[in-house]
Amino acid sequence: MLFYFTGLHTDYHTPNDDADKINYEGIVKILDNITGVITSLNESPKLVFTKTREAQTTTSARFSVSMGIMPDYTFSGNGVKADGVSEGKPAQKAGLKAGDIIQQLGDYTVSSMESYMQALGKFKKGDKAKVKYKRGNEVLETIVEF
């Protein structure tokens, strides 16, 4: 499976996410890559499916609160990196900034997007939780109110 993405911006998935925010150059690069993949598959012998033991990474987490961050989906380290922080939302009110890496939410360790969403599912509106995060080389803590 391939996933193509041209990046985030502060209006991503909001009512202000208009055509002027489309990354046209990124779309052209993606289309060129897809064309190359299809061309090479047509020129190659038939692919053979190989089953792996890796667990599926889809989430079944349900949550009713939000931190108000835009995750950096390209981040492959430990935790969830904030690519952006929405104005007036819990993360911004707690002092979190773009580039911060959330490592713990309340009593729950955040090692991936999946564990972050599962942790969010443990809270409801009005709850407060300690957030442990990394900013540069420093590990900091703050309290977030959902």
Measured in residues, the chain has a length of: 146
- Per-residue pLDDT tens over the stretch 65-106: 999 999 998 888 999 999 999 999 999 999 999 999 999 999
Q: How many helices (H) and strands (E) does the chain have?
A: 3, 6
- Per-residue pLDDT tens over the stretch 4-50: 888 777 777 778 888 888 889 999 999 999 999 888 887 777 777 77
**pLDDT value for 55:** 58
Surface-to-core class of residue 98, CB atoms within 10 Å of its CB (0-12 exposed, 13-18 middle, 19+ buried)? middle
| Token representation of residue 79 | 């935790």
Instruction: Judge: domain 69-145, CATH 3.10.330.10.
Output: no
**pLDDT value for 8:** 72
Domains of the chain by residue range: 1-54, 69-145
